[in-house]
């Protein structure tokens, strides 16, 4: 469902039962969220990311600077893990959960449970993968979906009836759920490609990308981190094929298609020019 469809649903929800049954303030707020989903600026995205990161940090236990986890992460990332003008910031959540995530402003958080499972090289790939989600602006799409979901929730809640009561209790966490939703298959592949390219660019062992995904594949299905979209074993095989020169990354495929298209257009134009030149030459010969 597109964001435009979300907006249409909100409008319907607000007026289906008649104005007398509608909480106008809540309905207006719903409309605002729907519009916001369509008009998010880069500054909006950054501000939302900053606030979300602060909220998340407050809800978790951050590893102190002198802890083994913080020291290990700092030793791995230092000042090297940047991309252009985008500055990433890293920290560890002390939790047995196997997880990691990134925010649109470059915030990256790694759970100690994940650090316990991976060696240094594999952890570098995971960090590069999360950087990829930021660089490719995947998180912006999730924020837009979260606003659209909020609009639907508030639109339902604006009805002063049983449906509104249910919405207030059941839909309250919908936006947050969407913020933590899995990325699409294409987005995960793009982040994998970025993580692999990152290891190669920084002169780290690219094989660690394959090793990390194989370890993650052994986790129970209950773990959310990299456990789907698509299967980690298939993702590992995909990156292995790239390392062996049997396939290209998504970005390389795009560039290859663009290059072939440009070559085709250039050849077509050259052929047309040659034909036109022959026609003009022949016409000039007849005119004499």
Q: How many CB atoms lie within 10 A of CB 137?
A: 12
Nearest to 26 by CA among 174, 150, 178, 145: 150
Q: Helix-strand-coil percent breakdown of the chain, rounded to 5?
A: 70, 5, 25
Which one of the listed residues 20, 47, 122, 130 is annotated catalytic?
130
Residue 70 CB partners (closer than 8 Å, separation 6+): 63, 64, 91, 92
In the beta sheet, which residues pair with residue 101? 109
Residue 67 CB partners (closer than 8 Å, separation 6+): 92, 94
Paired sense of beta strands 107-111 and 89-93, if any: parallel
Is 130 annotated in the active site?
Answer: yes
Residue 263 CB partners (closer than 8 Å, separation 6+): none
Cα 187 to its chain centre, rounded Å, is 6
Nearest to 189 by CA among 252, 105, 140: 252
| H runs (alpha helix) in 206-249 | 207-217, 232-243
* Measured CA angle at 260 (ends 257, 261), to 5 deg: 85
Known catalytic residues?
Answer: 130
């Amino acid at each position: 469902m597109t964001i435009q469809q979300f907006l249409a649903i909100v409008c319907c929800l607000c007026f289906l039962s008649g104005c007398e049954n509608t909480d106008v303030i809540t309905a207006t707020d719903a409309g605002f969220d729907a519009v916001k989903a369509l008009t998010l600026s880069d500054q909006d995205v950054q501000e939302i990311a900053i606030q979300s990161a602060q909220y998340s940090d407050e809800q978790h236990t951050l590893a102190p600077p002198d802890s083994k986890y913080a020291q290990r992460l700092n030793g791995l990332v230092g000042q090297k893990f940047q991309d252009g003008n985008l500055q990433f910031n890293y920290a560890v959540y002390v939790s047995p959960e196997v997880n990691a995530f990134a925010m649109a402003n470059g915030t990256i958080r790694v759970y100690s449970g994940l650090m316990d499972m991976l060696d240094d090289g594999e952890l570098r790939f995971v960090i590069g993968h999360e950087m990829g989600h930021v660089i490719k602006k995947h998180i912006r799409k999730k924020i837009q979906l979260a606003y659209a979901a909020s609009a639907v929730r508030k639109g339902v809640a604006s009805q002063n009836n049983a449906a509104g009561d249910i919405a207030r209790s059941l839909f309250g966490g919908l936006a947050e759920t969407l913020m933590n939703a899995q990325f699409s298959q294409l987005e995960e592949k793009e982040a994998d490609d970025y993580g692999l390219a990152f290891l190669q660019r920084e002169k780290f062992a690219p094989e660690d990308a394959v090793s990390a995904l194989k370890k993650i594949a052994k986790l129970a299905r209950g773990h959310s981190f990299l456990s789907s979209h698509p299967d980690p074993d298939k993702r590992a095989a995909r990156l292995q094929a790239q390392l062996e020169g049997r396939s290209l990354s998504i970005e390389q495929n795009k560039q290859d298609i663009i290059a072939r298209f440009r070559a085709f257009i250039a050849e077509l134009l050259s052929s047309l020019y040659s034909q036109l030149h022959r026609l003009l030459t022949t016409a000039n010969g007849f005119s004499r």
